[in-house]
């Protein structure tokens, strides 16, 4: 889909800023795209692409997009290649980076060309051409945002992803998925019972969740391609939720027997492969290490809920969290190095991150309200979580360092239990 222009030396001028002072965001300008196609006005497409790009870049925490009203040049009359416009028009307004581009819509065939420039060095960093349909404009913008992040940090961004979550919009907790910018919102369940804790399959095609729709809470698998919904496992016991293995071949889930929840390894049809825990305490909220060899989970076997890690093959288990009397809902970072979780401090709940080997934890949130259920982005550099800091629970996002906390949703009923998808096409 993308034709890469020859990539120039790295965006070195600005890259230094990543290591720079906390909160330093590189000022960047995103010009409206030039209509390169037939003469009829298609400003809507240009705005859809640039608005999406602006949203993504601001969300990333690495950029501060300069206000379009301050731009000097006219995008429709100036060129989009180095040498065909004046870099001074951009350095004057304080831009260090600049995105320019053009598009052509013929029938429903959309071609978009976008270029990233280093304003100080007056040169192009990267350029891409994308082809698609008229409705693909946001997807294309997300792709170029990912490319800008790749140039800036060495790793692509995660803007072609979605969040699965629980929303109380209808008065009942139902499963939804949405893009980060709130577009493409889709309600997956409508059973008017209680639905909890959705999580993505590693291929991004299925949502695993817990629902009361047949009585006791059970695990269900929702196929995003056709809306087919399958119950996993027996209906005779309650399930407290499950997660996919990184290779997509197994699940680990918590099932209740005589009031006690334990973890089980399942195949993807829901058949039990092996029981993983058998202690009298609560064992719940599993998360897989990206190597697939270990899981982290919550157990109250010590008397309070704490995070433990288990080697799936040997069953060897180790306690990871020691500070605080309530640590739950762990999520293992995609690079394997960290685990984020919910911990209680002075009666409030906050998001923490610790080394995957355990030990000292870093508190990432400190706002008013409660902050719960963190989920890493597929690149491990951002975390989505739910927070009641603005009243009702809403989804928020932050860097994995806790910087750049921003609200994603503002639903009337409240949004909780977010799960960040893998990278999607």
Partner 1 sequence: MDRIGALYRVVLCSAFFTLAACASPTQPPTEPPGGSLTQSDAQGPAGIREATSGPSTTTGGRSLQDAQAGKLPVTPPGSPLKEVYFGYDRYDLDTEARATLKANADWLKANVSARVEVEGHCDERGTSEYNLALGAKRSQAVKDYLATLGVAATRLSTISYGEELPVCKEQTEDCWQKNRRARFVIVSGRPAS
Please report how close the Cβ of residue 304 comes to partner 1 at its closest, in angstroms: 7
Contacting residue, 13, 78, 81, 193, with partner 1 by CB under 8 A? 193
326 has which bridge partners?
none
- Alpha carbons 395 and 418: distance in angstroms, whole number: 7
Please report how close the Cβ of residue 314 comes to partner 1 at its closest, in angstroms: 24
Contacts of residue 284, Cβ cutoff 8 Å, sequence gap at least 6 = 240, 241, 254, 261, 263, 297, 298, 299
Please report how close the Cβ of residue 341 comes to partner 1 at its closest, in angstroms: 9
Contacting residue, 349, 352, 376, 420, with partner 1 by CB under 8 A? 349
Q: Is 346 in the site for partner 1 (CB under 8 A)?
A: no
For partner 1 (CB under 8 A), the number of binding residues is 52
Q: Is 419 in the site for partner 1 (CB under 8 A)?
A: no
Please report how close the Cβ of residue 256 comes to partner 1 at its closest, in angstroms: 5
- Alpha carbons 174 and 194: distance in angstroms, whole number: 7
Q: Is 372 in the site for partner 1 (CB under 8 A)?
A: yes
The two tokens of residue 280 are 């009298």
Q: Is 259 in the site for partner 1 (CB under 8 A)?
A: yes
Q: Is 192 in the site for partner 1 (CB under 8 A)?
A: yes
Q: Is 214 in the site for partner 1 (CB under 8 A)?
A: yes
Contacting residue, 416, 418, 419, 421, with partner 1 by CB under 8 A? 416
The two tokens of residue 24 are 């330093």
For partner 1, the closer CB: 216 or 410:
216
- Alpha carbons 336 and 357: distance in angstroms, whole number: 10
Q: Is 178 in the site for partner 1 (CB under 8 A)?
A: no
> Which residue has 């429903």 as its token pair?
108
Q: In the window 134-173, what residues touch partner 1 (CB under 8 A)?
A: 171-173
Contacts 24+ apart (CB under 8 A), 253-262: 253/219, 253/286, 254/283, 254/284, 254/285, 254/286, 254/297
Please report how close the Cβ of residue 7 comes to partner 1 at its closest, in angstroms: 44
Q: Is 328 in the site for partner 1 (CB under 8 A)?
A: yes
- Alpha carbons 404 and 266: distance in angstroms, whole number: 38
The two tokens of residue 274 are 């092996």
The two tokens of residue 335 are 């690079």
Contacting residue, 7, 234, 269, 357, with partner 1 by CB under 8 A? 234
For partner 1, the closer CB: 282 or 312:
282
Only segment of 91-99, 117-125, 154-162, 207-215 that touches partner 1 (CB under 8 A): 207-215
Please report how close the Cβ of residue 208 comes to partner 1 at its closest, in angstroms: 13
Contacting residue, 60, 178, 261, 317, with partner 1 by CB under 8 A? 261
Read off φ and ψ for residue 81, nearest 5 degrees: -115, 155
Q: Is 213 in the site for partner 1 (CB under 8 A)?
A: yes
For partner 1, the closer CB: 113 or 373:
373
Please report how close the Cβ of residue 392 comes to partner 1 at its closest, in angstroms: 12
Are 169 and 393 within 8 A, CB to CB?
A: no
Q: In the window 278-307, what residues touch partner 1 (CB under 8 A)?
A: 282-285, 298, 300, 304-305
Contacting residue, 215, 225, 314, 346, with partner 1 by CB under 8 A? 215
Contacting residue, 64, 256, 290, 292, with partner 1 by CB under 8 A? 256
Are 398 and 364 within 8 A, CB to CB?
A: yes
- Alpha carbons 297 and 306: distance in angstroms, whole number: 8
**SS3 letters across 303-325:** CCCEEEEEECCCCCEEECCCCCC
Please report how close the Cβ of residue 87 comes to partner 1 at its closest, in angstroms: 51
Contacting residue, 69, 226, 258, 314, with partner 1 by CB under 8 A? 258
Q: Counting beta carbons within 10 angstroms of the beta carbon of residue 260, is it exposed (0 to 12), middle (13 to 18) or buried (19 or more)?
A: middle
Q: Is 185 in the site for partner 1 (CB under 8 A)?
A: no
- Return the axis-axis angle of helices 12-19 and 137-153, rounded to nearest 10°: 80
Tell me which H or E stretch contains 165: strand 162-167
Q: How many CB atoms lie within 10 A of CB 88?
A: 12
Q: Which residues bind partner 1 (CB under 8 A)?
A: 171-173, 189-194, 196-197, 210, 212-217, 227, 234-238, 240-241, 254, 256-261, 282-285, 298, 300, 304-305, 326, 328-329, 342, 344, 349, 370, 372-373, 416-417
């Amino acid at each position: 889909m993308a034709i890469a222009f020859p990539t120039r030396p790295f965006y070195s001028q600005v890259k230094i800023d990543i290591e720079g002072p906390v909160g330093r965001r590189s000022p960047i300008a995103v010009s409206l795209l030039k209509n390169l196609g037939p003469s009829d006005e298609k400003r809507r497409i240009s705005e859809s692409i640039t608005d999406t790009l602006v949203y993504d870049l601001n969300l990333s925490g690495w950029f501060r997009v300069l206000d379009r009203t301050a731009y000097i040049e006219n995008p429709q009359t100036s060129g989009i290649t180095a040498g065909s416009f004046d870099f001074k028009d951009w350095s004057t307004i304080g831009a260090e980076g600049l995105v320019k581009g053009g598009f052509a819509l013929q029938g429903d065939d959309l071609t978009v060309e976008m270029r990233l420039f280093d304003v100080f060095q007056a040169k192009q960093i990267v350029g891409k051409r994308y082809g698609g349909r008229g409705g693909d404009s946001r997807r294309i913008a997300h792709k170029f945002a990912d490319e800008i992040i790749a140039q800036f940090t060495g790793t692509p961004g995660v803007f072609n992803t979605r969040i699965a979550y629980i929303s109380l919009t209808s008065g009942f907790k139902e499963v939804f998925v949405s893009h980060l910018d709130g577009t493409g919102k889709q309600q997956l369940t409508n059973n008017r019972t209680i639905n909890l804790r959705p999580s993505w399959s590693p291929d991004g095609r299925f949502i695993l969740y817990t629902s009361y729709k047949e009585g006791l809470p059970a695990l269900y698998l929702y196929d995003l391609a056709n809306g087919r919904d399958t119950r996993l496992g027996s209906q005779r016991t309650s399930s407290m939720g499950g997660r996919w293995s990184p290779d997509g071949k197994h699940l680990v889930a918590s099932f209740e027997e005589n009031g006690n929840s334990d973890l089980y390894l399942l195949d993807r049809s829901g058949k039990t492969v092996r029981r993983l825990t058998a202690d009298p305490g609560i064992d719940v909220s599993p998360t897989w290490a990206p190597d697939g060899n270990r899981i982290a989970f919550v157990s109250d076997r010590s008397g309070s809920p704490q995070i433990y890690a288990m080697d799936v093959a040997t069953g060897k288990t180790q306690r990871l969290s020691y500070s605080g009397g309530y640590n739950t809902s762990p999520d293992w970072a995609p690079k394997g190095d960290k685990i984020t979780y919910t911990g209680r401090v002075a009666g409030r709940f906050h998001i923490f991150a610790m080394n995957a080997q355990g030990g000292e934890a870093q508190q990432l949130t400190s706002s008013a309200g409660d902050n719960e259920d963190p989920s890493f982005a597929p690149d491990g550099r951002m975390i989505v979580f739910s927070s009641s800091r603005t009243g009702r629970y809403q989804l928020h996002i932050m860097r994995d360092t806790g910087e750049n906390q921003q609200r994603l949703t503002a639903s009337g009923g409240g949004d909780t239990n977010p799960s960040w998808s893998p990278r999607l096409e």
